[in-house]
Amino acid sequence: MLPAAAALAVLAASAAAHAVIPDASPTVVARAAESVPVHPASTNPAAIPLESITQAHTSDPAEPYTTFTAGTVPTAVPGAPPLPDLKTLNFFAAPYPPLDKVPPTDSPEVQQWIKDVASSGVQIPTFAPTAPGDCAGNPSLISDTSRCWWTCGHCTRDDDIVACPDKLTWGLTFDDGPGLTSMNLVNYLGQQDLKATFFIIGSRGISRPDMVQSEYILGHQIGIHTWSHPRLTNLKNEEIIAELGWTKRVLKEILGVTPNTFRPPYGDIDDRVRAIAKAMGLTPVMWTTTPDKTRTFDTQDFEVGDGSVSSFQVIANFDSILDMAPSLDTGFIMLEHDLFAQTVDLAVGYTIPDGLAHQPKLALKSVIDCMHQPLQNAYIETSGNNGGSGGGSGGNSTTAASSSKSKTSTGGKTGSTGAASQSGNNGLVHRPISIGGLVGVSVVTIFLARQMRR
């Protein structure tokens, strides 16, 4: 992850606006050294060549972007207060915790959130945290379905958001930002009249709060991605509360409202994490998984940064996902990132243009929009939820909006058990997805290879 000094750097640069011009026929791009042919239906004419998007490609010019002054009314979110004044906030002084570290749990703020969770009425499972090392580090848990650990088996519960309900709908999500070039992505989305969901790391949000405000005012959905990007199941209860609580608090101070969705880093969630999140007014948003639980809708774009995956493999992964779209009973949610230049370049240059040109046509939407909910339902204060204030626990609130109930796949079984299943129906699709077999490349998530760069 970027150090604080880099996070605070101001880049003055400009770049030409991007536009999608669909090709008359599919473009075939191949890299002989990789032997991974890819066939995007369309690419951005201004795209950086795939062979240039490598581990060594660490920076791009940051495009100019629109910032908004204090007091701006967020018209995209009816009922929301005007934007706070960032000049009055000093996120790099007490009481805020250090960047990119699990926050201490002995602060007055965290102690209060711990009390709020305890009094929320949500039963928190008592099993111990997982050991480092994912499945390999926890061999006794591989066959244990009682805790519904997503990392080992991709188990989900009824209140996990795992797909968009409508067929041929792609829920656009981007994690880990804002990065130095995140606004290049936001600018491109604006040119294409698209909205996405951005899951913000608290340490990145306080480093670039003006970017978070711009994403919000422009009508994108903001979600929580913890303070320091840890594997949550490795943490004690109090540490999970600190990770979520501080991120809730800073986003409330930046935006004036508190997101009611979160994405666990690495997808690492179990029923203990789910219950704590529920007590804090947060609904998990995952990404789509095949019914056999062996493949996830992860392009592996993040792995380009550590050299474990090539940009050609990312596009091949992406195209294999799109090939499955017509066979889905529902839409899908895909995992992408906006922290690093490589991931932004892949999205702006290739995956989004490819998705826009796909036949049959896909609808590209934010998660809240693809769930048929208005944007104000993505925030505690404007959705009518009793979510508390600041970084508070949120009490026993219902997150997202409510409509019809459906089932989820829980490690090969149907139904929902455990503490996480106590929460009310959130109107979002959780049923198993019918998907044909993958052709060509695998899109299995490489959990052990993905580490946040510091």
Annotated catalytic residue 337: yes
Q: What is the DSSP letter of 266?
A: G
Residue 198's SS3 state is: strand
Element of type H or E holding 261: strand 261-262
The one-character DSSP state at 291 is T
Reply yes or no on whether 100 is catalytic: no
Provide φ and ψ at 29, rounded to 5°. -120, 130
User: What is the 3-state secondary structure of 153-186?
Assistant: CCCCCCCCECCCCCCCEEEEEEECCCCCCHHHHH
CA distance 358 to 19: 16
| CB of 319 closer than 8 Å to CB of 362 | no
Task: Please identify which of the residues 159, 160, 175, 176 carries the catalytic annotation.
Answer: 175
Neighbours of 180 (CB within 10 A): 25
**Residue-wise DSSP of 334-388:** EEEE-SSHHHHHHIIIIIHHHHHH-SSPPEEE-HHHHTT--GGGGBTTTTT----
Q: Kindly give, in sequence order, each residue whose CB lies less than 8 Å from that of residue 348, ignoring residues fewer than 6 positions away.
A: 18, 44, 47, 184, 185, 188
Q: Which of 154, 220, 229, 337 is catalytic?
A: 337
Helix, strand, or coil (residue 413) = strand
Q: Among all residues, which ones are annotated catalytic?
A: 175, 337
